[in-house]
Structure 1
Amino acid sequence: MASPASPLQRSNPSPLQRLSTFTNPTFSTTTTTTTTNNIATATSALDAIASDPILSAFLSPSFSTTSFSSAALSSGSPASTAEKLHSAIRLLDSQLRHEVLSRHDDLLSQLSSLHHANVSLSTLRSSVSSLQSSIRKVRSDLSDPLRSINSQTVQLSNLHSASHLLGHSLRALRLSKKLRDLASVDDTEKLDLAKAAQFHSEILALYNEYDLAGIDVVDEELKFVKEIGEKLRSEAMKVLERGMEGLNQAEVGTGLQVFYNLGELRATVEQLVNRYKGMAVKSIGAALDMKAITGSGAVFGPGGVRGSGTPQIGGGAKAREALWQRMGSCMEQLHSIVVAVWHLQRVLSKKRDPFTHVLLLDEIIQEGDSMLTDRVWEALVKAFASQMKSAFTASSFVKEIFTMGYPKLFSMIENLLERISRDTDVKGVLPAISSEGKDQMVAAVEIFQTAFLALCLGRLSDLVNTVFSVSSSGNVPTKEHISRIISRIQEEIEAVQLDGRLTLLVLREIGKISTGPEARQVSAPATAAQLKNFTLCQHLQEIHTRISSMITGLPSIAADVLSPSLGAIYGVACDSVTSLFQAMLERLESCILQIHDQNFGVHGMDAAMDNNASPYMEELQKCILHFRSEFLSRLLPSSTNAATARTETICTRLVRNMASRVLIFFIRHASLVRPLSESGKLRMARDMAELELAVGQNLFPVEQLGAPYRALRAFRPLIFLETSQLYSLWLDSQGEDQIWKGIKATLDDYATNVRARGDKEFSPVYPLMLQLGSSLTKNAPAS
């Protein structure tokens, strides 16, 4: 079917189109049928060619004329092949002709479209040419203004840059003029360093930020600015150092502000800290420089120094004095250094920039950084420990001086630490050194402390061994011997003052005291071993008393250290006689137990009129008299010395405890006696009177025994009461709170006595009674 014609085609039909209008109306159907037939014919022709062994090669995509010709010529029948080719050509021509005729209308239609397209293309070509001409004209019209705009834009940019550059240059020159005006002040002290540093910093910032290099007038001023900068740094450093040395916060603040304005605060502070660290290390090294101390480097004459650091003969005293002087000067320098750095740190932690309000310390110390004083102290302690260790191993002279004079060396260090702590103790400001820092400084001289302790041990051990060696021959040390030991201990305490542990070394020898089985015999006169123990007890007690009086003037730390060993001395003294007192008490208790062998149930006037004491009481009195004459008279202080008699000793305490125990033990067993007749009650009362008299005259004044004596006095009328009048009925008439109040008073007295004796534990019954009493008061109804 032909395509609809365009308006141009309808108005101007071509000859072919006109020719097509004369076709038969049924042509369309006929054409369709013919086309179908032609397609079938063409298909059969192609099938015939494809099935032919010679012609099928022409359908192959890889057909080669040369190969086909060679094969045809070599087949032996080229004429036949040529005939076949001609027949195929004729067949194809016929087929093409049929195709053209069958598609006649379509071809005419396509030809008309091609003509129309050609006409349209000619019109388009003309329009495009016109458009190109217009574009060339527009380009010509726009290029000149564009070039002008580009040129003027560059000019504007240059003008703008030049304007900014000129403005910054003018500002730099104005600031330079202000800087010159400030620098023209004749008196340096009146120069506002901080303001000048601010101008200097702003000028350099302008110069670098806006690239003012190359401007002659600015470059000339920059030379002056750099010269002023060096002057400012020099003057600010002088002010800063002067303020640190004089602890003047205003001067230190001014110096820091100058360097902050210059943008060099962190570097300057680090430089200062490193300088002070170097000064500290140098000071420590100079203090222990033996060549400098002896005043000779290589000359080994009198007063010179040997290779081992030992002065020659005649120079020891001077070298020793020079060493202590240098150590004193070193301590002074270290104090000044640490306090100066602390003062710098203190100002940094308080001062803020007046414009930005930035804390200057935050510019110096970042998170995780150590404080300035910690850095200096760490370097100082490290150098000090290294020098002390080196002096101990390399110089026998320094080792001897610092070992013998360790108390003086330690006193210097402690004085240094105390002064630093005192001078840097300001509210709201961190101290210069912490407790850990102090311990590090003390640990630096521990090597000399160990040597000093060993020396003290040798001196004390020699004396103790000499004095107590008489024990092996059976002799007891005299008071003169004990006085020598005490004097030596006192000398050591006075020498060391703050380290009283040195005196404890004497306990190693004192502990070797005889307390064998014979020390417990109480039936015969006192043996030689017992007399020896008595003397040792008195001597050790004297040592304990005198040393205790010595430590009253010492620091609390020394008293705390000495207290355990003084307790050991007291314990050894007690051990030498405790077994004796225990044996005496056991003997007296055995006498009291014989009360149960007596018959207190006898009736009759004869028993009532008998004024003799019971046999067990007579035995008890004989034992007490024997103890008094053979033992207590040698242990208890003489009554002629009133001051000594009033002072409680180990033996007086033991005698008081023994007397109290005897009274309580008697009351306990006397209350168990049954039956008890009226005459028996009288005998019991006489026994109580005899007991009170024997104890009071030979052991301890009964009225000073307290509760045991009151119990004995209360027990006397109790035995004459009827059963209905005994305590059980009184208990019925009292409330539980009143009963507990009385029991609680007894328990409190017991606890007081335990603490007075120095016992470490209470009886297991004591906490049980307290627990029961608390449950009584908890459950008691309100009255």
Structure 2
Amino acid sequence: MGTYMSLSSIQECVASALDIKVLTQPGNTRGGPGRAMMPTPGNAAAFRAALWTNLEKLMDQICAACGQVQHLQKVLTKKRDPVTHVCFIDEIVKDGQMDIMYTFWNSLTRILSVEFQRATSASSFLKQTLEGEYPKLLRLYNELWKRLQQYSVSIQGSLASSGGLDLSVELSASDLEAQNLFMHAKQDYDPEKALKDSLQPYEAAYLSKSLSRLFDPINLVFPQGGRNPPSTDELESIIKTIASELNVAAVDPILTLAVAKNAAKTIQLFCVKSEQLLCTQGDASQVIGPLTEGQRRNVAVVNSLYKLQQAVGKMISGITSFPSVAEQSLTSALESVQALMGAAVQPLLLSVSDSVEAIIITMHQEDFSGPLSAPGKPEVPCSLYMKELQGFIVRVMSDYFRHFQCLDFIYDNTEAIAQRAIELFVRNASLLRPLGEGGKMRLAADFAQMELAVAPLCRRVSDLGKAYRLLRSFRPLLFQTSEHVASSQAVGDLIPYSTILHFLFTRAPPELRSPHQRAEWSIARYSQWLDDHPSEKDRLTLIRGALEAYVQSVRVRQGKEFAPVYPIMLQLLQKSTSGV
């Protein structure tokens, strides 16, 4: 094993490795008193190189010393007193005394802590170097610990006997090594933690400076009173800083988690600064004229947030062996980015949705009561409100939404507008009264044109799911008999019972009034009531009241029979309420 290294020898090795005089004057063997304790500007690189060379050598010396103590402990474990036959190691640890490995390791880690503190207290430059290049120092310690894992079983067994670990459960050496039992057991003494305790001051300083490095470019590009988000180059600088900090910290999972939390704080700061730029006044939601200055700024802010989100997401997937907890920290921060993007576009989306609804409801201002056109007279391809709706949607997509770079994000939001538009269209189409044969033909054309109207709002109209199937299912019912309408397979599944019953009201005489007519509500008010009461039970209750009022009116005027559509509606209502 070579010359035995005592603890005092190790202490001398640590002190020598951190000796600022030797590090700053490697060529001066005399080391005269009063010499400068700081490297000259030209020698800073040489100083750092010498320091890391010394520390690497120190790790080798510590590893060798641990091997010697390990060998000694193995010998003492096997040898017995020739007279008493007591194992030497039992003699050493009797009466609660610590064993050799524990005593050595405890003393070694204390020496490291004391000597590092003494050296950095004497030299601010050494302190700054260890703080600034802390990941490199941590990597040396991690490599040392990995090299010592070949001794871990013996260390664990020895420390367990001193620390009170229950050894009644037998584990093989390979099991102990694979599970790294001592590190994860709840013990008062953690050998790896003890090794790294000397690094705590440098870790804290490094993380503080890391956070400053992350925050500085953001504070720089969001000046007090500024009105614009970062430029592409400025954003690239922020992204590169985050990537650099995460890459440097990748030497250790615990350090990676700490830096990832700093990066998450950085993303949150970016969100706070970006939110302060957003325009929330009325011109942020206008959809009448071209983009206002506030809307342009909101678009720029959303695009900036999107670029950051994409870059950090790519960064996370590109770092190998990225701890899941660190990834979760950044992912949570990115969810804040997504939420802010949503909040930024929400006023515009609501305004577009309201305008779409306002246009659709104007179908009731047109006349759908006419008969079929005379032969040879060209049919109108679609209604005026449908032309207006198509023109409006094309315009808002071109004037407002095309400026956003986050296409998937925009489609996720505008597709919801498309689904809502279809539902409102079918709702209002079912409420049209009176509806003549010519009106049915024009409404059928409107159904076909509705697909074209909402197409700019989505990737594909067929992606709209249930809303798309509702649109396709309702159109054929326009020309079917009331009996066929009531028995359609789509009713109760794709098409709500309440919607079909609304539609059957249009085939009834005027005295069989629709629910909104009986309540003397406008179509707009009734549509709002339906939005406020999405439950079919509530809607069907209101419809039942309209039918009962009709029955009462027939009895009052002593009518001989009900309208032909009434028994069909009553049967459908009974069928619907049995399942609601």
TM-score category (smaller protein): 0.5 to 0.7
Which residues of 2 match residues 62-461 of structure 1 at below 5 A? 277-294=7-24, 295=26, 299=32, 304-306=35-37, 310-311=38-39, 315-342=43-70, 362=90, 364-365=92-93, 372-421=100-149, 424=152, 426-429=173-176, 434-435=183-184, 436-461=190-215
- Alignment-derived partner of residue 623 in structure 1: 392
In structure 2, distance between residues paired with 1:418 and 1:665: 66
Query: What amino acid is aligned across from residue 494 of structure 1 in structure 2?
Result: N
Q: Deviations over 1:376-432 (max 9, x none)?
A: 333333333333444444320111111221221222222223333366474144659
- CA gap of 1:703–1:730, structure 2 versus 1, over 3 A, is closer
- Alignment-derived partner of residue 564 in structure 1: 332
Query: What amino acid is aligned across from residue 377 of structure 1 in structure 2?
Result: W
Q: Is residue 294 of structure 2 the alignment partner of residue 519 of structure 1?
A: no
In structure 2, distance between residues paired with 1:371 and 1:667: 84
TM-score in terms of structure 2 length: 0.65
Secondary structure of the corresponding residue to residue 273 of structure 2: coil
- CA gap of 1:297–1:453, structure 2 versus 1, over 3 A, is farther
Quote the offset at 1:365 in angstroms. 4.2
In structure 1, distance between residues paired with 2:22 and 2:412: 64
Secondary structure of the corresponding residue to residue 511 of structure 1: helix
In structure 2, distance between residues paired with 1:689 and 1:347: 91
Query: What amino acid is aligned across from residue 105 of structure 2 in structure 1?
Result: W
Match of 1:688 among 447, 464, 468: 447
Contact in 2 for aligned 1:346/1:429 (Cα 8 Å): no
In structure 1, distance between residues paired with 2:56 and 2:95: 37
In structure 1, distance between residues paired with 2:447 and 2:83: 97
Unaligned runs of 5+ in 2: 154-172, 185-189, 251-255, 494-533, 536-580
Secondary structure of the corresponding residue to residue 240 of structure 2: helix
Query: What amino acid is aligned across from residue 289 of structure 2 in structure 1?
Result: A
- CA gap of 1:374–1:636, structure 2 versus 1, over 3 A, is same
Q: Percent identity?
A: 28
Query: What amino acid is aligned across from residue 291 of structure 1 in structure 2?
Result: K
In structure 2, distance between residues paired with 1:438 and 1:427: 19
Quote the offset at 1:281 in angstroms. 4.2
Which stretch of the first structure deviates more once superposed, 338-347 or 512-521?
338-347
Contact in 2 for aligned 1:420/1:432 (Cα 8 Å): no
- CA gap of 1:282–1:569, structure 2 versus 1, over 3 A, is farther
Q: Is residue 247 of structure 2 the alignment partner of residue 494 of structure 1?
A: yes
In structure 2, distance between residues paired with 1:707 and 1:422: 62
Quote the offset at 1:359 in angstroms. 7.2
Q: Deviations over 1:642-669 (max 9, x none)?
A: xxxxxx6322332333333333443455
In structure 1, distance between residues paired with 2:139 and 2:433: 74
Which stretch of the first structure deviates more once superposed, 672-681 or 559-568?
672-681
Contact in 2 for aligned 1:338/1:432 (Cα 8 Å): no
Q: Is residue 467 of structure 2 the alignment partner of residue 708 of structure 1?
A: yes
- CA gap of 1:662–1:325, structure 2 versus 1, over 3 A, is same
Contact in 1 for aligned 2:271/2:336 (Cα 8 Å): no
In structure 1, distance between residues paired with 2:392 and 2:482: 35
Q: Is residue 309 of structure 2 the alignment partner of residue 544 of structure 1?
A: yes
Contact in 2 for aligned 1:655/1:700 (Cα 8 Å): no
Greater Rg by CA: 1
Quote the offset at 1:327 in angstroms. 1.4
Contact in 2 for aligned 1:373/1:433 (Cα 8 Å): no
In structure 2, distance between residues paired with 1:442 and 1:670: 73
Query: What amino acid is aligned across from residue 247 of structure 2 in structure 1?
Result: E
- Alignment-derived partner of residue 548 in structure 2: none
In structure 2, distance between residues paired with 1:506 and 1:399: 26
In structure 2, distance between residues paired with 1:605 and 1:370: 105
Calculate the aligned-residue CA RMSD, in Å. Answer: 4.1
Q: Which has the higher contact order (CA 8 A, sep 6+)?
A: 2
Quote the offset at 1:533 in angstroms. 1.9
In structure 1, distance between residues paired with 2:244 and 2:482: 69
Q: Deviations over 1:327-359 (max 9, x none)?
A: 112222233334554566567778999999977
Secondary structure of the corresponding residue to residue 291 of structure 2: coil
- Alignment-derived partner of residue 656 in structure 1: 415
Q: 1 or 2, which has the higher helix percentage? A: 1
Match of 1:503 among 263, 279, 287: 263
Query: What amino acid is aligned across from residue 350 of structure 2 in structure 1?
Result: Q
Contact in 1 for aligned 2:414/2:457 (Cα 8 Å): no
Which stretch of the first structure deviates more once superposed, 314-323 or 619-628?
314-323
- Alignment-derived partner of residue 483 in structure 1: 236
In structure 1, distance between residues paired with 2:143 and 2:491: 71
